[in-house]
Amino acid sequence: MTDYQTWERRTPRQRIGRYILMLIVLVAAAVSWQLLQINYSYLGTAPTEFMDLINRMYPPNVGYTGEIISPMIETIHIAILGTALAVLMSIPVALIGAENTTPNRFTFVLGKFIISASRSVNVIIWALVFVIIFGSGALAGTLAIAVRSIGFCSKLIAEAIEEIDPGQVEAIQATGANSIEAAIYGIVPQVKPALIGVSTYRWDINVRASTIIGFVGAGGIGVELNTSINFFAWQQVLTILLAILIIVVFSEVVSAYLRRKVR
Amino acid sequence: MATEQPEQRTWRRPTAFYNHYVKWAVYVVITVFLLWSAWNMRISPARIMDGWNAAVGLVEGMVPPEYTTQFKNELLIEGLVESLAMSVIATIVGVIISIPVAFMAAENIAPKPVYWTGRGIITVSRSFHELIIAIIAVKAVGIGALAGVIALSYKTVGFFAKLLAEEIEDIDSGQMEATEATGANRVQTMLFGVIPQVMPRIIGLTIYRWDINIRHSTIVGIVGAGGIGATLLNSFDQYDYDFFLTIIIAIIAIVMVGELISTYIRGRIQ
Amino acid sequence: MLSVTDLQKTYPSGDEALKGVSLDVTGSETVAMIGPSGAGKSTFIRCVNRLTEPTGGSVELDGLEITGLSGKELRNARRDMGMIFQEYNLIERLTVMENVLSGRLGYVSTWDAFRRKFAGDDIERAYEVLDRVGLGGHENNRADELSGGQRQRVGIARAILQRPKILLVDEPTSSLDPESSRAVMDLLTEIAAEDDIPVLINIHEVDLAEEYAGRIVGLRDGQKVFEGGPDDLDETARGQIYRGEEIPEGAGPTGKVAEAGTPGESSQEEGQIRRG
Ligand SMILES: Nc1ncnc2c1ncn2[C@@H]1O[C@H](COP(=O)(O)OP(=O)(O)OP(=O)(O)O)[C@@H](O)[C@H]1O
Ligand SMILES: [Mg+2]
């Protein structure tokens, strides 16, 4: 090939970068594959196992529906209360975690620390911790969900606060309003869409999370699901899964509707 | 003016709801619901006190984290390595399955029945938490990393295919038509008209999903699907809170490193 | 009356925005402040109600020294100064009525402010003011649904609902088309006359300043380089304000030697003449 008239999509450097990236991926894949030491005979039988499982699940146990109504309601309670608590606690955390509203350097760092501490621990681990503290039940689950959500909500709300137009706050201050009034009129309306968007979005996530914290005893439908699976009551399992599906889809529709409604 | 209008005009803030009664009704319903939820939690002063004592005990039990025993160190490393390996394999498998699903679920490419099938797969995959999938996979293929890989791959499909489908729906249809106009068949059109356009997004999303899969791979072990989670649950069950804390710190560290790497690479390829 | 003496402002960045500017605004006169970009016009106005903290000098409103005030006293002083902004600074997501009523926030309790509960008189007056600025019937529109000219008129309505003793106006027309600019300037001078309050306007358009203002102040590099009636603003004066041309030794407030006299006296006199 001659130097001219060749068609190159990328510069040589970019190409080398790409090759290196691909190589890393291949090596990582190979090493991982080796490390897992999966018994591949299981993989071969997996499809039949799954079909078998599905056969045993079908048809769902309709008579069982009555028994899961109350844990399902508890699940929703956990999701809503957990989200509400989280949003409530997020507001002060967001205020100190936003550059333009934090009182000083120390509070800013504290805000950032709370945010990242809450975010880096999975909800199920939080649930374990709260089960130790408060014993099993919905309280532990609610707190786990609340604590895990604080970081997420505060982070997004803080970003919204950092983006507000300071002119609107100044205009209110210029009328002789006090700083709380300036916040009510100048800041709240500007961050309200973000606040509602974040809470409905997180609620949506939390509905899913609240279905599993029962695995470690933190209340909700997960407790029921865990028991049914352990007793190989597969038809009950399918009933529960369908109920979860309905709730999750429902919550997704509601939260999408709410987000659309607030402009 | 004022004498002509003896009645003072009043003003009420227009409400986003139908009218003010509806607004108050909605507020009351929300409050009652929250109170009901709170009541269901059975919170009592005694419980809070017990909780406080338990929390103090837990913290005392946890601090300092344990890092001395050779045996536990090996357990820890083994678990973390297994989690990482699971996340890599699950991401690759998940992405490979996701790409056709994404094409199925892209409205501008797929015929209606295929489109709805694709959307259905995505919805079902997204609906269930990874731990639910993991627990079922454990029953199907037995305890171990395979179940975890299955669960994580399954969740990857819902996430990846959804975002990729949205990307495909946004592509420039001109390039696709140009490829089609050369007489290419459907698959060739996809390969030359669509894939190149969405390739950067595929890479970006893959790395992003890998980051998420690392997080998930550290917990699916709680239901027996491999990785560090099993060790975590064991330490918890045996009241070995020192080690419990060590594991949590290790998990946080590995999750943060994963996030840093992922953010760095995504920043570079853009 | 507003009386500013030797006002100085040095920003933390080291920018000397004001290097000792004195100015009196009295009666129901309209004073236009002109000058090139960065001359310190906005800084001056913002130092008067202390949205920006001056670093030296004094600001007196009806004999009350503003610069030393803090907390409640400062807020009470701010209630007496209506401010109008270039970018309107309306609360975009609230209704026109809420924006106008926010001019009364200095007078209501925080709890009432939260509930949007304002005195009946205030609401009645808000309606009247909205009619006056030509926005009757728009009270339930959201501010972000309005055009630029309409928004600026909401801003003016908010300021006059304060029943201020002075209007501070920072480039009210820079974001508007010529037509709306004139409407806004008409409105401002009308209010000054009807409510018998002085208006201090920062403005870029010299022709508008000449047309509407009773007195013009020229600022350059944080210093007052011109003060006089619209007729005094000739080519020499413009050169001194906008191009930094030399001001002769012993020159008067309009930058010319013939009209000698100290700036303080002169401005006072002119104010009196206009009032008489
Ligand atoms: N917040 C600030 N921090 C630092 N310097 C500032 C700040 N605001 C203004 N300045 C500086 O002060 C000087 C005067 O600015 P000012 O905004 O008062 O000018 P202006 O006459 O209103 O200009 P324009 O006509 O462009 O609005 C400028 O040099 C500007 O860079
Ligand atoms: Mg300015």
What token pair was written down for C55?
Answer: 């670093």
| Chains in contact with chain B (at least 3 beta-carbon pairs closer than 8 A) | A, C
Domain count, chain B: 1
The answer to whether the CB of C40 is under 6 A from ligand 1 is yes
Whole-angstrom distance, CA of residue C203 vs CA of residue C201: 6
CB pairs under 8 A between A and B: 145
Note whether C91 contacts A180, CB cutoff 8 Å: no
Ligand 1, from C11, C46, C86: best to mutate by most atoms within 8 Å of Cβ?
C11
Q: Cis peptide leading into A12, omega within 30 of 0?
A: no
Domain, as residue range, for C149: 90-163
Comparing CA positions, the residue from A245, A148, A256 lying closest to residue A204 is A256
pLDDT in tens, C77-86: 999 999 999 8
Looking at residue C177, its pLDDT comes to 84
Evaluate whether C122 touches C104 at the Cβ level (below 8 Å). yes
What token pair was written down for B264?
Answer: 């760095």
- Rounded to a whole number, what is the distance in angstroms from the first to the last CA of chain A? 59
Rounded to an integer, the average pLDDT of A162-185 is 90
**Residue from the list B34, B47, B226 with its beta carbon closest to the beta carbon of A134:** B47
**C residues 112-131 near A, CB within 8 Å?**
113-114
Please check whether residue B206 lies inside any domain of the structure: yes
Looking at residue B85, its pLDDT comes to 93
Looking at the structure, do residues C170 and C268 belong to the same domain, yes or no? yes
Looking at residue A148, its pLDDT comes to 93
Looking at the structure, do residues C75 and C174 belong to the same domain, yes or no? yes
pLDDT in tens, A52-97: 888 888 888 888 888 889 899 999 999 999 999 999 999 999 989 9
Instruction: Compute the 3-state secondary structure of chain C and give helix, strand, coil in percent, each to the nearest 5.
Output: 40, 20, 35
Q: Please give the mean pLDDT across all residues of chain C.
A: 83
Residues 6 or more apart from B173 whose CB is under 8 A from it?
A: B108
Looking at residue C262, its pLDDT comes to 45
Evaluate whether B155 touches B216 at the Cβ level (below 8 Å). yes
Looking at the structure, do residues C99 and C198 belong to the same domain, yes or no? no
Q: Could you write out the DSSP letters of every residue in A120-140?
A: HS-HHHHHHHHHHHH-SSHHH
Looking at the structure, do residues C16 and C114 belong to the same domain, yes or no? no
Q: Is the pLDDT of residue C268 over 70?
A: no
**Closest residue in A to C89 (Cα–Cα):** A168
Whole-angstrom distance, CA of residue C201 vs CA of residue A116: 48
Rounded to an integer, the average pLDDT of A239-260 is 87
Whole-angstrom distance, CA of residue C83 vs CA of residue C76: 14
Rounded to an integer, the average pLDDT of A99-111 is 90
Which of C133, C148, C163 corresponds to the end of one domain? C163
Looking at residue C264, its pLDDT comes to 44
The answer to whether the CB of C168 is under 6 A from ligand 1 is no
Looking at residue B5, its pLDDT comes to 53
pTM of the model as a whole: 0.80
Work out the widest C-alpha separation in chain B, in whole angstroms: 93
pLDDT confidence bin for C45, thresholds 50/70/90: very high
C-beta neighbour count of B87 within 10 angstroms = 29
Looking at the structure, do residues C76 and C198 belong to the same domain, yes or no? yes
Whole-angstrom distance, CA of residue C34 vs CA of residue C169: 12
Domain, as residue range, for B228: 69-269
Looking at residue C228, its pLDDT comes to 81
Rounded to an integer, the average pLDDT of B149-154 is 94
Sheet holding C64-65, edge to edge: C16-25, C2-10, C56-61, C64-65
Looking at residue A143, its pLDDT comes to 93
Q: Is the pLDDT of residue A262 over 80?
A: no
Looking at residue C246, its pLDDT comes to 75
Q: Cis peptide leading into A166, omega within 30 of 0?
A: no
Q: Is the pLDDT of residue C265 over 60?
A: no
Please check whether residue B53 lies inside any domain of the structure: no
User: CA triplet A230, A233, A235: central angle to 5 degrees?
Assistant: 140
Q: Long-range contacts: C151-154, Cβ < 8 Å, 24+?
A: C151/C88, C151/C90, C152/C84, C152/C88, C152/C176, C152/C180, C152/C184, C153/C183, C153/C184, C153/C187, C154/C88, C154/C90, C154/C96, C154/C99, C154/C100
Whole-angstrom distance, CA of residue B40 vs CA of residue C140: 42
pLDDT confidence bin for B84, thresholds 50/70/90: very high
pLDDT in tens, C152-167: 889 999 999 988 989 8
Looking at the structure, do residues C199 and C149 belong to the same domain, yes or no? no
Ligand 1, from C41, C44, C242: best to mutate by most atoms within 8 Å of Cβ?
C41
Which of C130, C163, C196 corresponds to the end of one domain? C163
In single-letter form, the type of residue at position C233 comes to: L
Looking at residue B107, its pLDDT comes to 84
Looking at residue B52, its pLDDT comes to 82
Please check whether residue B164 lies inside any domain of the structure: yes
Ligand with the closest atom to the CA of C17: 1
pLDDT in tens, B53-83: 887 887 787 777 776 677 778 888 889 999 9
- CATH number of the domain to which C54 belongs: 3.40.50.300
Evaluate whether A221 touches A75 at the Cβ level (below 8 Å). yes
Highest mean predicted confidence (pLDDT) among A10-14, A57-61, A215-219, B171-175? A215-219
Please check whether residue C100 lies inside any domain of the structure: yes
Whole-angstrom distance, CA of residue B9 vs CA of residue C128: 10
Residue C166 β-bridge partners: C81
Instruction: Return the CATH number of the domain spanning residue range A76-262.
Output: 1.10.3720.10
- The residue among C93, C118, C123 with the most chain B CBs within 10 A of its CB, best to mutate, is C123
- The residue among A164, A165, A168, A195 with the most chain C CBs within 10 A of its CB, best to mutate, is A168
| CA atoms lying within 13 Å on the CB side of residue B154 | 22
Name the 3-class secondary structure at C163: coil
User: B6: distance to nearest CA of chain A, Å?
Assistant: 29
Looking at residue B117, its pLDDT comes to 92
Whole-angstrom distance, CA of residue B150 vs CA of residue B226: 11
How far is the centre of ligand 1, averaged over its atoms, from the C-alpha of C53 (Å)?
A: 13
The answer to whether the CB of C37 is under 6 A from ligand 1 is yes
pLDDT in tens, C85-137: 988 899 988 999 999 999 999 899 999 988 888 888 888 888 988 988 888 88
- Tell which wins on pLDDT, B210 or C27: B210
CB pairs under 8 A between B and C: 22
Looking at the structure, do residues C16 and C74 belong to the same domain, yes or no? yes
Element (H, E) at C181: helix C178-195
- Tell which wins on pLDDT, A134 or A9: A134
How far is the centre of ligand 2, averaged over its atoms, from the C-alpha of C222 (Å)?
A: 12
Looking at residue A2, its pLDDT comes to 44
Q: Please give the mean pLDDT across all residues of chain A.
A: 86
Whole-angstrom distance, CA of residue C275 vs CA of residue C268: 11
- CATH number of the domain to which B73 belongs: 1.10.3720.10
Looking at residue A88, its pLDDT comes to 92
Rounded to an integer, the average pLDDT of B79-99 is 93
**B residues 167-196 near A, CB within 8 Å?**
none
- Tell which wins on pLDDT, B61 or C205: C205
Please check whether residue B126 lies inside any domain of the structure: yes
Whole-angstrom distance, CA of residue B53 vs CA of residue B11: 54
Evaluate whether A171 touches C90 at the Cβ level (below 8 Å). yes
Evaluate whether C222 touches C21 at the Cβ level (below 8 Å). yes
**All residues with CB under 5 Å from ion ligand 2:** C 42
Name the 3-class secondary structure at A34: helix
Domain count, chain C: 2
Please check whether residue C85 lies inside any domain of the structure: no
Rounded to an integer, the average pLDDT of B10-38 is 84
Q: Could you write out the DSSP letters of every residue in A129-192?
A: HHHHHH-SSHHHHHHHHHHHHHHHHHHHHHHHHHTS-HHHHHHHHHTT--HHHHIIIIIHHHHH
Looking at residue C266, its pLDDT comes to 45
**What percent of chain B has a predicted confidence (pLDDT) above 90?**
27
Please check whether residue B51 lies inside any domain of the structure: no
Looking at the structure, do residues C12 and C65 belong to the same domain, yes or no? yes
Looking at residue B149, its pLDDT comes to 93
Least confident of A71-75, A182-186, B138-142: B138-142
The DSSP code for B220 is: G
